[in-house]
Amino acid sequence: MGAEVRQAKRIGLLYDGRASTFCPGCEHGLLLKLIARALEELGVADRAVMVGTVGCSSLGYLLFDSDFVQAPHGRAPAVMAGIKLVEPDAVVFAIQGDGDALSIGLQELLYAADRGIPMTIFMYNNMTFGMTGGQMAPTTIPGMRTTTTPRGRDVKLSGSPIDACRLLSAIDGPAYLRRAILAPRPLRVKGKIFYSAREALEAYRIVLNAFRAQLKGGFSFVEFVGTCNVNWRMGIDESKAFVHEVGAKYFPPGLCRDIYGLEGGGKV
């Protein structure tokens, strides 16, 4: 007999029991769970369309039971625009990696944002190309070693990390721009490591806001800073600590735009 196949059962928009293809310690699974829950809480799960990207996030569709179409690398925002313009009732979203959104797909992201077409993009920033094996990404922080920057990212040669929220803040189109840290902060209590629940709870609130912005007719973009412990060659706890201690300096959490006052009307 071959390997035991567990019968996947569906819980809302997520398949439970289907083997996840994400590496242990990665926050992609958490993000999918938050998105599924938010779509259900908002009562729009039946109108949800996930647009597939290229990178680790592309594996999400195996776990997610909404309508789905795969985009070429970097082109998800354009595919989403195509859907949204002919199916305005659809709730369209994508999880892009930092390479997909800011390297090969920067133009598509920028123009979808500029036109303010209602859609929701979650960018999972793990500072590397995860799926292809840990090469430099536009978000790789200076000095960070990757397979294509074996001596560390040299800003003179390879540039500095691109700040997506600041970049998109320069144009008028977006309705909701936000950055947050998705990786839970490891807390040491009596010699043991516990993960803080705060990041996931805040991320959930942000995911809800991002979809609310689309439902109000706006373009929403959220950058979630997460880990890639495998390609960073770190332990899981170490990678999560790294995001909070080092990553946050380059990618500080915060609200960049909120035209509908979803976060209480505070202007940033």
User: How many other CB atoms are there within 10 angstroms of residue 193's CB atom?
Assistant: 12
Quick one: DSSP state of residue 57?
Answer: G
**Which 3-state string (H, E, C) describes 16-41?**
ECCCCCCCCCCCHHHHHHHHHHHHHH
Does 12 contact another protein by CB under 8 A?
Answer: no
Distances (CA, A) of 239 to 11, 186, 225, 255: 30, 10, 12, 24
Among 22, 38, 63, 66, binds another protein (CB under 8 A): 66
Does 111 contact another protein by CB under 8 A?
Answer: yes
Distances (CA, A) of 240 to 138, 144, 245: 20, 16, 9
Residue 48: CB minimum distance to another protein, A: 6
Among 36, 71, 206, 228, binds another protein (CB under 8 A): 71
Residue 54 or 181 with smaller CB distance to another protein: 54
Does 72 contact another protein by CB under 8 A?
Answer: yes
Among 47, 185, 205, 244, binds another protein (CB under 8 A): 47
Residue 36 or 241 with smaller CB distance to another protein: 36
Tokens of 69: 């179409």
Does 3 contact another protein by CB under 8 A?
Answer: no
Q: Which span (41-49, 159-167, 186-194, 199-207) binds another protein, by CB under 8 A?
A: 41-49
Distance separating alpha carbons of residues 187 and 237, to the nearest angstrom? 9
Distances (CA, A) of 73 to 57, 113, 156, 185, 203: 11, 18, 27, 31, 26
H/E element holding 92? Answer: strand 91-97
Does 65 contact another protein by CB under 8 A?
Answer: yes
Site string for another protein, 115-144 (x = CB under 8 A): x-----------------------------
Positions that interact with another protein (CB under 8 A): 21, 45-49, 51-52, 58, 61, 65-72, 75, 78-87, 89-91, 107-108, 110-111, 115
